[in-house]
Chains A and B, each alone.
Chain A
Amino acid sequence: MITQTVNVLGLKLPKIDPRWWLIINHITLVSLGLIAYDMRRSAVQVGFAFACGILSEILFSAVTRKQVFFSIRDRLMSATILCSATIILVRAEDWWFYGLMAVIGVASKYLLVNDKGRHLFNPTNFAVVFAVMVMPLYLQFRPDTFSASWVPMAVILCFAGMATITAKSWRAPLAYMGTIFLVGLPLGMMLGYHPVRVIGPEISVTTLLFCLAAMTDPQTSPRAPKQQLLYGSLIALVALFLRYNEVYYHQFVALFVVTCLNSVLFSSPGLPPQQQQQIGTKG
C-alpha cells in the first residue's frame, strides 16, 4: 500500500519505487517503437535479451552473494530495466546481441564493485559502452526513427522524469543540461558550430534517456545535492569533449569515464546501506 507522496510542481503524487517509473517508461518506449516507429528489433532479440537478463541476475546473485537481501522481484525489475534500456538505446542485427548485452550489464553489476561492495557502473551504461568500444562492428549506428520524435520524448520526460524526482536525483541531469547550454553552446560557437547543431542532439530520445535513466542511477551516482550538481556538470564537460572528438554515444562514454573516477571524486556514491536494504525488503 502506498502511503508516501512526492511533490511535483505543487501536485502531491503517490511515491512509488522509482524503478517502476523506469519500467513503465522503458516498456512504453519499446512498445511505441515497435508498433509506431519502425523500431527494428525482432521478437527473438527481445525474448533472448530478457531471458539472458533474468537468468544472469539469478545466477550472478547466487554465485557472488551480493545484495543477498534483495528479493527475486527486485532482480526481475533490475533485469527488465537493463534489457529494455539496451534494446531502446542500441541497434544491432544479430539475434544474440541484446542477450549478450544483458549478461555483460548484469555481470558488471555483480563483479565490478568498489571497496564497499557496491557496483561501480550503471549496468545499462556499462553494456552500451562495452558495445560501442569493444564490439562496434556489430552495432548499426543509425538512430531509430523515433530518436528525433516528440512523443517518445514526452514519454521519457513524464515517466523517467518521475523516476528522477522520486529518487531525488534530478540535480545531476539539471546540471548536465545547464552545462551544455552555458558552456557547450558558447564553446561550440567558438569552434564554429551552429547553435542548432550544439543543442539539437542534446534533446534527443537518447540523451533524455541517458539523463533521466542512466546518469541518475542512485546506486552509482553521488547523493549529496552539491555533489550531484558537480557530477552532472563533470559528465557534461567530458561529453562535450568526446562529442567534439566524434566519439559515438559520447554521453554514455562520459558517464563511464566519470564513474571510473567516482570513488576518488565523490565522498559516497550510491545509496546508503540501510536504504539499499529498504529496497530489498520492499520486495
Chain B
Amino acid sequence: MPIKGSKYTGIAVGGALLVFLAVNNRLSEHGYDVYPAKAPDSISELSPVHFTESAQQLGLVAPNRFYYPNTSPKAKQYEPLLSLSPSVSVADVNGDGFMDVYVTAPAPDIPNKLFINHGGKSFEEVAAKVGLDDTDRTYKEPSMAYWGDFNHDGKLDVFMARYGCHTLHTQQADGTFKAALVGYCSQPWSINVFDFNRDGNLDVFFGNYYHAEDLSKYVALEHIFTRAGLPKTGSANAILLGKGDGTFGLLDDGVLKDYPDHTAAVGFSDVNMDGYPDIAVSNDYNPDRMYLNQGGKTLKEVTEQSIPSDKHGFNDMNAEFVDFDMDGLIDLFVTGGFGPPISVSDNLLWKRKSNDSTEYEEVARKWNAHGCGSAWTAKFSDFDNNGDLDFFIINGQGYGANVKDPKDAKSYNYVRNEIRSTPGSLRYTLDSMPDFSNYEMWAFQHSCVMWQKDGQFYDVAQKAGVADYTEDGRSLALVDLNNDGKQDVLVVNMNAPMYVFINDSKTDGNWVGISAIWEDGTVATGARLMAKRTDGKPLVREVFPGNGHHSQNDPRIHFGLGKAKLADDEIAVLWPDGTMERFTHQPMNTYVTLVHGKGVK
C-alpha cells in the first residue's frame, strides 16, 4: 500500500527535528554539552582516580601570560591564538631522589622558574640563583627546555630551544649554569632528545614551526586562515648531533628538508627494533610524518606505510609512544582539535599491527579515545595502579579580549571554515577578517582524565577533581613528585599559572618505578624496559622523557601492576648500546635504579 502523507507532513518533520535539537541541547551555541568521551555515572563511580590541585600549597607557583613578539595592533588582537607556549621539564637536578621542576615562560617580564623539590613536601624556587631565570633574551624567547648530560661531566645541563638561536646551559661545579650558543637557530615549537646515531652522545631533534627568522616582524596567521599544505609558512625539521663535549653539528639530511612542516610534537621509539630510535612528528596544518632511522646516518620517510595520512587531522599535536593495550607492541597517540558541535579532527590512536611490520591501525573511536576538546598534550600512565594505562589530556581555548565567557561568544572556527571554502583569488586578507577580539576559537572542554575500563577509555575528569580547572592549557609533564608511586601531573597554561595535580587516588594496586641509568648516573635515554606480569600481560616502555608535546617527563618508568606482580621478579633492559641485561629479584611498590653493566643501585 503506497504511503500517503498530509499537507502538513513537512511541518511535522521540521517540528520533530526542532524538538530533537532542543531536547539534546543543540540549539545553544557550539553544543558544549555534546561530549562523547564523558563517562556514564556507573563507570565514573568505579574509578578511584583523583587529583588535588596543590600549586600554592607546595610553592610551585609558575605564572604565565599571553605573549607574542610582534606587538602590532593586528598581532595583539590575535594574541590568544598566536602566543608562544610555556613548557615544563622534570629532572632530578640535585640528585636527591626527588624530581625538580623547570618551567619556561616566553614573556620577557616573566622569568623561568626552577623549583627544587624538598622531599615532595615543599619546593624552593632557585632559577635566578643558579642562572636559569633566562631574563636576558638576547637569543630570543625560550620555546622548551630539556634536561640531559650533554657534555658527559655527570651533571645535568639544560638545552634551551628558543624562537631564535638555541643555547646550552651547562651545569658548573658550584651548581650554577653557564650558557653558550649551540650554533643553530630556528623556530621550534617542540624539541626532543635522543641518541640518533648511538654514539653515546645526546642529540636534539628540532620540531620547527615557523619559517620566519624573526617573529617580531611576523604575524603568523596565514596558516590559520588558509588551507593545509602551504609549505611557505612552515619550516623543515632538523637534527643537531651532540659531540659529547657540549658542542653540536647539524645532520645534513635531505629527507627532513623535503618537509617544511609546522611541527608541534616529536616522539621517539625504536619502531623496527634495529636498535636505532625512529621518529614520529605531529604537525599542525601538514600531515604527520613517520621516519625510520637508517643506521644513525639518515632517515627514511614511511608515513604512508605506517600511519596513512588520510587519517591525519588538521591540527595534530602530541606524539606519545605507549603500549596502551599492553599487547607488547608500542603504539602511538596523536591529539587533534576536536571541537563540538562538529568534529574538526579526532585524536588518533595508532595501534601497532604486529611486531613484524611498521604498520599501525587507527583505533581511536574503537577505544573511545578520539574526542576531548581542542587537545594539546596527552600522556599515558596508570594513575590508579590498577594495571591498565589511562591518559591525561590537556585542552586549550582561545578567545578575544572582549569576550567575557567563551561559551557565549561567536566561533572563529566557523569563520575559518568559511574562509577555507572561499575561492583562491578571493582569499581573505587579515583586513577582511572579523575582529578576533569578539570571537572564541577551539570550542573548549576541560582537560580529560581518560580512565581505561574493559577496552574503552572514559573521561572521569569530574570525579577526579580536574574538571573545574579550565584555563587555556598547553603541555603537561608526568612526575611522581612525592615518590608515593602515583604519578602526578603538571600542566602549564597560556595565560595563568601552572596547575599541579597531586595524585591522591585511593588505591592499593602494586607498582614499580624504574630508573635506567648509565654508569655515570645519567639517564639512559632510549633504553627499552621489558617485563611480564604474573597474569601474563607484557610490560614494555622506552625511556624517552620528551615524548608527548613540549615537555619533559619524570625519566623514571612507572608500571602499574594492579593485583599482579612482576613475573619472576624480573625486569629486562635493552640498553641503547644494544646490550641486554636481566635484573632479577626486583622489589615492588618502590623505585629501583638499574645501572648499565653494574646491576641494581
Q: Which residues of A contact B (CB under 8 A)?
A: 40, 42, 64-66, 68, 93-94, 110-115, 117, 120-121, 129, 132-134, 136-143, 145, 147-150, 153, 192-197, 199-201, 203-207, 246, 248, 256-257, 259-264
User: Is B344's CB under 8 angstroms from A141's CB?
Assistant: yes
Are A204 and B311 also in contact (CB < 8 A) when A64-B3, A256-B14, A264-B11 are? no
Interface of A, secondary structure class, is helix
B360 at the interface (CB under 8 A from A): no
14 contacts between A and B (CB under 8 A): A93-B311, A114-B5, A137-B34, A137-B341, A137-B343, A142-B344, A147-B420, A147-B421, A199-B426, A201-B419, A246-B411, A256-B14, A257-B14, A261-B10
Q: Are A141 and B343 in contact (CB under 8 A)?
A: yes
- Chain A residue nearest to B5 in the complex (CB): A113
Q: With an 8 A cutoff between CB atoms, is B346 at the interface?
A: yes
* Surface stretch bound by A, among B381-389, B431-439, B516-524: B431-439
Interface residues on B, range: 35 or more
A196 CA to B424 CA in the complex, in Å?
12
Q: Is the CB of B422 within 8 A of A201?
A: yes
Report how far A215 CA is from B576 CA in the complex, Å.
64
Chain A residues closer than 8 Å to B342, beta-carbon distance: 132, 136-137, 139-141, 248
Residues on A with beta carbons closer than 8 Å to the beta carbon of B31: 136
Q: CA–CA, A153 to B426, complex, Å?
A: 14
Closest to B6 in A: A115
A136 & B343 in contact (Cβ 8 Å cutoff) = yes
B463 at the interface (CB under 8 A from A): no
- Indicate whether A200 sits within 8 Å of B343 (C-beta atoms), given known contacts A194-B432, A263-B7: no
State the Cβ distance, B544 to closest chain A Cβ, in Å.
29
Q: Considering only CB atoms, which chain B residue lies closest to A39 in the complex?
A: B310
- Chain B residues in the interface with A (C-beta under 8 A): 1-11, 13-14, 17, 20-21, 26, 29, 31, 34, 36, 227-229, 310-311, 314, 340-346, 365, 371, 410-411, 414-415, 417-424, 426-429, 431-434
Contact assessment for A137 and B36 in the assembled complex, using a CB-CB cutoff below 8 Å: yes
Q: With a CB–CB cut-off of 8 A, which chain B residues contact A64?
A: 2-3
Which A residues are in CB contact (< 8 Å) with B344? 140-142
Q: Is the CB of A260 within 8 A of B13?
A: yes
Residues from chain B with a CB closer than 8 A to the CB of A42 are 310
* Given contacts A140-B344, A153-B423, A203-B423, A112 and B365 within 8 Å (CB-CB): no
Q: Collect the chain A residues with CB atoms within 8 Å of residue B5's CB.
A: 112-115, 117, 120
**How near does chain B come to A107, taking the closest CB pair, in angstroms?**
11
Task: State whether B422 touches A120 (Cβ < 8 A).
Answer: no
| List of A residues within 8 angstroms of B410 by Cβ | 246
- Asked if residues A142 and B417 are in contact (CB atoms below 8 Å), the reply is yes
Taking A40-B310, A196-B428, A260-B13 as given, write out 5 further A-B residue pairs in contact, using a Cβ cutoff of 8 Å, ordered by the A residue number. A112-B9, A113-B4, A114-B6, A115-B5, A115-B9
Q: Which residues of B contact A113 (CB under 8 A)?
A: 3-5, 9
Residues of B within 8 Å of A197, CB to CB, are 415, 418-419, 428, 432-434
Which residues on A sit within 8 Å (CB–CB) of B434? 192-194, 197
Q: Are A148 and B227 in contact (CB under 8 A)?
A: yes
| Bound Cα distance A40, B310 (Å) | 6
Shortest beta-carbon distance, B336 to chain A, in Å?
Answer: 10
What is the minimal beta-carbon distance from A154 to any residue of chain B, in angstroms?
A: 11
Question: Within 8 Å CB of A263, what residues of B?
Answer: 7-11
Q: Are A261 and B11 in contact (CB under 8 A)?
A: yes
| CB pair A260 B343 closer than 8 Å | no
Residues from chain B with a CB closer than 8 A to the CB of A114 are: 5-7, 9-10
Given A115-B7, A246-B410, A139 and B420 touching (CB < 8 A)?
no
Interface contact A133-B420, CB-CB below 8 Å: no
